[in-house]
Amino acid sequence: MPLIDEVTDKDLRMLVYKHDFVMVKFIDDDCPVCKELAPAYHDFILDHTYKDVQFMRMNAVENPVSRRQVSLTGTPFIATYYKGRLQECGLVTTASQIKDMLDRLLLHSGN
């Protein structure tokens, strides 16, 4: 079963270049919306539509470098990357917002 990769400042840069399609969910342990959206985020991993996307999760508090790079304004915060380049980022509060970002990521890349 696919898993979400837990990433840190140290390895995020390498991983976004290693995988063509990447979605990173920045979380905070004290964020109720982060906890509420966790099952939906996991469901996207199992959805064959997004089989080419590498799903990652990053603790926003523990990773200040990545937090600054995406201009994080709160959590849960999603960033998408295509071939190492940041495509889109922003706060999310619903699973449909995450789905829309995934669909735009794949559309942008020509899939």
Residue 13 belongs to domain with CATH number: 3.40.30.10
- pLDDT, residue 61, reads 85
Between 66 and 17, whose confidence is greater? 17
Check pLDDT > 60 for residue 82: yes
CA pair distance 79, 87, nearest whole angstrom: 7
Q: What is the pTM assigned to this prediction?
A: 0.89
9-45 per-position pLDDT tens digit: 888 889 999 999 999 998 888 889 989 999 999 999 9
Between 33 and 73, whose confidence is greater? 33
CB 104 within 8 A of CB 88: yes
Q: Could you tell me the pLDDT band of residue 1, with boundaries at 50, 70 and 90?
A: very low
Q: How many domains in the chain?
A: 1
User: Which residue range forms the structural domain that includes residue 17?
Assistant: 5-108
